[in-house]
Structure 1
């Protein structure tokens, strides 16, 4: 069985040392699903992927691409919550006519 996650999330802009990136942050129940998928993968294969990432087939609108989501740990009143980040390339943004702040209907197939 393949895990799938879907959500509508705002497209955010992040300025890093090496350039500007656009991303969506996955939280809540969808983030829990990804976290459980990562744990099961680690149990099955005995290791985690680079940076703790999870491989995904992502879809926004009609555009689909293979990528990874990366964990972001947030200290939430003495308990740690794990959110996940998906980078959205300029190619995808152009194809789907997206801009910073736009709501993004995202579908992820966890691989």
Structure 2
């Protein structure tokens, strides 16, 4: 099997709250040239809604998930689950370096 296509991006963690009662989903936006290169690397390997399966690392935490097309940026959004945020001490507005492999 060929080596995975790897990407690294510096981004800001943001929160989408479907209502004002607290909680919410946390994401990192991947846009610009990195998003274009990821889209090309994943040709023929996209899932539902145009998602792309990725192996992710933030700090010392690794996990598998998918990135999803993001209409507003023209790139992708990466969900960052609570367990990862807790392990890495992250909250909304924090700058993060994300490594992704397709």
Give the TM-score normalised by the residue count of structure 1: 0.80
Structure having the higher strand fraction is 1
Q: Which runs of 4+ in 1 moved over 3 A?
A: none
The equivalent position to 1:88 in structure 2, one of 75, 80, 96, is: 80
Cross-structure match for 2:44:
41
Cross-structure match for 2:98:
106
> Mind listing any 5+ residue stretches in structure 1 that lack a counterpart?
43-47, 75-80
Query: What SS is found at the alignment partner of 1:91?
Result: helix
Give the TM-score normalised by the residue count of structure 2: 0.87
Note the C-alpha offset of 1:100.
0.6
Structure having the higher helix fraction is 1
The root-mean-square deviation of aligned C-alpha atoms, in Å, is 1.5
Q: What is the rounded CA distance, in whole Å, between the counterparts of 1:66 and 1:16 in structure 2?
A: 24
Please identify the structure whose Cα radius of gyration is greater: 1
